[in-house]
Amino acid sequence: MDALRGNAVIGQSGGPTAVINQSLVGVMEAFGSSGAAGKLLGSVHGTRGIVDEQFVDLATIDSGRLDNLAATPSAALGSSRDKPDAEYCQNILEVFKRNDVHTFFLIGGNDSADSARIVDEMAAASGYDLQTFHIPKTVDNDLRTTDHCPGYGSAARFVATAFMGDDRDNRSLPGVKIDIVMGRNAGWLTAASVLGRQAGFGPHLVYVPEIAFSVSQFLSDIEASFDEYGRCLIAVSEGIEDENGISIAQVLAEQLGKQVERDGHGNVQLSGSGMLGDFLADLVRKELPGGISSRVRSDTFGYLQRSFAGYISEVDATEARGAGRKAVALASSGAPSGSVAIRRLSNDPYASEFFRAELADVAKGTKELPRNYINAAGNDISDAFSDYALPLVGELPVIESII
């Protein structure tokens, strides 16, 4: 390994996860032992901190604090939802030049990979020596190329466990219960609702954005579930869409005369409101007969899914840390700019390795839940998904039942 030239910058971007600081600490540790003579500068609030030259010299953080820092949920350097345009990226490059920065690490989702790509291409075009490495993180698990994303396993563990408990709650006081799960336009996190399900228990219905949402089908599905179980626990993605591919939450917000909030990347705000769950619950109350509609509740799991401390997946934490280290290793070895990706080697026992993916491949678009992970009727999740996801969440609680 060659020593890195000059200084390096690291930033965290987009919605945080429970293990995003594992990747930060992974970079800090590996940078510290890489023999690099320069500084590792933490950019405060993502790319915004670069433009504003708000840096923290990460060598000043006591190494005794690193394990606790890694276990702390949500971006310790602060995050940002800025979408860098050409001028913004030009400013980033100017700051890099002024601060002798030749290595750029950015932890984030596909929008961040795209920002990293733009800065990297701009540097190349201007003949400036810059290596750029994107380190994946997202609870949505929707990045291309990688088998799965750091951050997903812990969020999926939270969701799976939440449904195990909520199913027993619904079993003890029967009725219709609707739980809204994060994940934007992909059903990966909502699918995790089934990971702790025992035969004959809930969730009884699962709706993901990959299948067009039909109100009439939703209502008849609930009636059928009630006939069979006398109750119905339902997992619904925050990003479910109508047959035209328009998010139901967006349609609702517009109907209610609410301002539809978008981030710099044009993404509509889906989380941080109970609107979708309340709408679906009201629908059931209004449209279904008394036996079914007498007890209807909805919960929106919200930001707990990405920020709950103390209940993370060990596999996820280890991989997130490793992804940070891998980024430094790639940089030190003089590898071309890229995104750290995970390849699954075996499922039992679970094993994985990292590889370098192209920034452009990760930046463009997102990855949907494959059709074979969804049942034929489009209202439940298949065993093939569980085979994929179970190794990522760690051991789930063992629960028992009497009735």
Cβ-in-10-Å burial (0-12, 13-18, 19+) of 327 comes to: buried
Cβ of residue 304: shortest distance to a copy of itself, in angstroms? 5
Picking from 88, 145, 149, 169, the residue whose alpha carbon sits closest to that of residue 122 is 88
Cβ of residue 282: shortest distance to a copy of itself, in angstroms? 8
Instruction: Render 5-30 in DSSP notation, one character per residue.
Output: PSEEEEEE-SS--TTHHHHHHHHHHH
Q: How far is CA 260 from CA 151, 272, 327, in A?
A: 27, 13, 37
Distance between CA atoms of residues 90 and 176, nearest Å: 53
58 or 341: CB nearest a copy of itself: 58
Residue 148 phi, psi dihedral angles, 5° rounding: -160, 170
Catalytic residue list contains 140: yes
162 or 357: CB nearest a copy of itself: 162
Answer yes or no: are the C-beta atoms of 46 and 80 closer than 8 Å.
yes
Cα 8 from chain centroid (whole Å): 25
292 or 342: CB nearest a copy of itself: 292
Cβ of residue 352: shortest distance to a copy of itself, in angstroms? 24
118 or 233: CB nearest a copy of itself: 233
Token pair for 62: 């006591």
User: What SS3 state is found at 31?
Assistant: helix
277 or 338: CB nearest a copy of itself: 277
Picking from 347, 60, 305, 357, the residue whose alpha carbon sits closest to that of residue 193 is 305
Cβ of residue 21: shortest distance to a copy of itself, in angstroms? 8
User: What SS3 state is found at 377?
Assistant: coil
Contact set with a copy of itself (CB under 8 A): 12, 15-16, 18, 42, 44-45, 56, 58, 61, 65, 68-69, 71-81, 161-162, 164-166, 168-169, 171-173, 177, 258-259, 271-275, 277-278, 281-282, 285, 296-304, 306-311, 396-403
243 or 400: CB nearest a copy of itself: 400
Cα 193 from chain centroid (whole Å): 15
Cβ of residue 261: shortest distance to a copy of itself, in angstroms? 8
Distance between CA atoms of residues 131 and 324, nearest Å: 15
Cβ of residue 263: shortest distance to a copy of itself, in angstroms? 10
Cβ of residue 124: shortest distance to a copy of itself, in angstroms? 30
Cβ of residue 75: shortest distance to a copy of itself, in angstroms? 4
Q: Report the first-to-last Cα separation within the chain, whole angstroms.
A: 61
70 or 211: CB nearest a copy of itself: 70
Give residue for tokens 């067009």. 212
Distance between CA atoms of residues 328 and 2, nearest Å: 11
The active-site residue out of 82, 111, 114, 140 is 140
Token pair for 133: 């490495």
Q: Which residues, in sequence order, are CB contacts of 241 under 8 Å at separation 6+?
A: 185, 209, 212, 213, 247, 248
Answer yes or no: are the C-beta atoms of 238 and 182 closer than 8 Å.
yes
- Nearest 5 degrees, angle CA 364-CA 366-CA 367? 130
122 or 283: CB nearest a copy of itself: 283
Residues annotated as catalytic are 140
